[in-house]
Amino acid sequence: MKITDARVFVGGPKKNYVTLKIMTDQGVYGLGDATLNNRETLPAKYLQDYLIPNLIGMDPRNSEDIWQFLYRGAYFRRGPIAMAAYGAIDMALWDIKGKLANMPLYQLFGGKSRDGAMCYAHATGADLEDLMDSVAAYVDEGYKAVRVQCGIPGMPTASYAVPEEKGARNYITDYSGIRPTVEIWDSGKYMRFMPEALMRIRERFGPELHILHDVHHRLTPREAAEFAKAVEPVGLFWLEDPTPADDQDALKLLRRHSTVPVAIGEVFNSIYDCNKLIEQELIDYIRVAVTYAGGITHVKRIVDLAALHHVKTGFHGAPSHSPLCMAAQAHLNAWAPNFGVQEYLVLGTPECDALFPSEHRMENGMVYVSDAPGLGVDFDETEVARYEYQPGSHPVVRLEDGTMWNY
Ligand code: KDG
Ligand code: MG
């Protein structure tokens, strides 16, 4: 069996999804996602110029050897652009494997460990009252877990994922161009306000709701330890990215001062970004995404390492992840003995469903994986032709005196 051709498509409804389609001499094709948020054209170009010409003629069933060829063969290892491109290839090869076996991917991993996988949604509010309305709407829809982000009194601009105006909902990427807007950050204001706000949410919604909160890399290790201690009475499901994720030692201080569960890893693209964190049991949830972290082959390795150290999964599922990435994660979630929770924001708009038809279902805050062979998602090439690439950016963050800070 041989790979005969592969094509990359960039586009989607209000998203620049990067979709790879690998064709074979047996008519079976595989689909993969290389959407690196706000840098979408780069993995697409890497795939087109370097990787696809190498794939032609290879046996698509040898997904492990092809992964090793890509990773070891590049000489320069890791990095989000390369790993997202390998991730798309790997996903597409697993899709082909599942179709050849006539089995959904979770069966190839070891079958189902659960029927539905618990998801969390993003509740946001310009102020606490607005945030409470947003949480209440998700609770009414049946969600058992909600991430909460709130506007901070006195902060000169809205901060991470928080709308400027009441009633407006989650935003992260601005598609008006590649030059980012600037958010102003003040850790003091945040730390004085947020623990009490989280406690008010707990009091309003009771002990059963899983409350998650994302610090988005903004605190120093000392501040993060203080903050984690202060929010301990809230009983958070997790505290996400309290410190910049590239410093694997940063969480040691937090661990010495607090038992709050910690989640980290959405910016990681390799097992070597998180092996110390996992082996030293400095985290409770690993947040890698199948797209950014080199595909199913590599992420499954991270999940297995995590299982040895009581670390559960909490895969990244921001709005930028395509339904293909979410499907790969749905299959891993169905199988993983150490499944924790899934972030889930690819809301099934009619446009998105037309582009990526599938039988994966979201109900009452749970994802139910499709039983169709492979990833269980198709891709409509005529639909994708309706969309053009739109340059976009995350905001950047500065302190009030102008110093650059962590987004
Ligand atoms: O591209 C970056 C976003 O995906 C990120 O800001 C979202 O922090 C995020 C999350 O937890 O989903
Ligand atoms: Mg996050």
CATH 3.20.20.120 for domain 111-373: yes
Q: 364 CA distance to ligand 2 centroid (A)?
A: 22
Instruction: Choose which residue among 316, 344, 346 to substitute to test ligand 1 binding: the one with the highest number of ligand atoms within 8 A of its C-beta.
Output: 316
Q: Residue 121's beta-bridge partner residues?
A: 146
Question: Which structure tokens are listed for 176?
Answer: 């008006």
Instruction: Please state, in angstroms and as integers, the Cα–Cα distance from residue 175 to each residue in 33, 165, 236, 341, following that order.
Output: 20, 19, 33, 29
Helix (H) or strand (E) holding 360: none
> What pLDDT, in 10s, does the model give residues 77-89?
999 999 999 999 9
361 φ/ψ angles, rounded to the nearest 5 degrees:
-125, 145
Q: 102 CA distance to ligand 1 centroid (A)?
A: 34
Q: 380 CA distance to ligand 2 centroid (A)?
A: 30
> What pLDDT, in 10s, does the model give residues 35-64?
999 999 999 999 999 999 999 999 999 999
Q: Are 26 and 1 in contact (CB under 8 A)?
A: yes
Per-residue confidence of the chain (407 residues) as pLDDT tens digits?
999 999 999 999 989 999 999 999 999 999 999 999 999 999 999 999 999 999 999 999 999 999 999 999 999 999 999 999 999 999 999 999 999 999 999 999 999 999 999 999 999 999 999 999 999 999 999 999 999 999 999 998 888 989 888 887 766 677 888 999 999 999 999 999 999 999 999 999 999 999 999 999 999 999 999 999 999 999 999 999 999 999 999 999 999 999 999 999 999 999 999 999 999 999 999 999 999 999 999 999 999 999 999 999 999 999 889 999 999 999 999 999 999 999 998 667 899 999 999 999 999 999 999 999 999 999 999 999 999 999 999 999 999 999 999 99
Question: Which structure tokens are listed for 120?
Answer: 């969390």
Pocket of ligand 1 from Cβ distances under 6 Å? 37, 172, 214, 216, 266, 316, 318, 320, 343, 394
Single out the catalytic residue among 216, 316, 321, 360.
216
62's CB contacts (< 8 A; 6+ apart) are: none
136's CB contacts (< 8 A; 6+ apart) are: 205
Q: 282 CA distance to ligand 2 centroid (A)?
A: 17
Residues with CB under 5 A from ligand 2 (ion): 214
Q: Is the Cα torsion angle 241, 342, 136, 320 positive or negative in sign?
A: positive
What is the CATH superfamily name and number for domain 3-107?
A: Enolase-like, N-terminal domain (3.30.390.10)
Q: Indicate if 160 belongs to the active site.
A: yes
Say if residue 31 is exposed, middle or buried (CB neighbours under 10 Å; 0-12, 13-18, 19+).
buried
* Intervals of CATH 3.30.390.10 along the chain: 3-107
Q: Return the residue whose CA atom lies nearest to atom 5 of ligand 1.
A: 318
Atom of ligand 1 nearest to the CA of 216: 8
End-to-end CA distance of the chain: 45
Q: Is the pTM of this model over 0.95?
A: yes
Helix (H) or strand (E) holding 226: helix 221-231
Residue 238 is predicted with a pLDDT of 98
Say if residue 155 is exposed, middle or buried (CB neighbours under 10 Å; 0-12, 13-18, 19+).
middle
Q: Return the residue whose CA atom lies nearest to atom 4 of ligand 1.
A: 318
Single-letter amino acid code for the residue at 268: F
Q: 396 CA distance to ligand 2 centroid (A)?
A: 15
The per-residue DSSP string of 110-126 comes to T--S-SEEEEEEEEEES
Question: Which structure tokens are listed for 182?
Answer: 């600037």
* Intervals of CATH 3.20.20.120 along the chain: 111-373
Q: Return the residue whose CA atom lies nearest to atom 3 of ligand 1.
A: 318
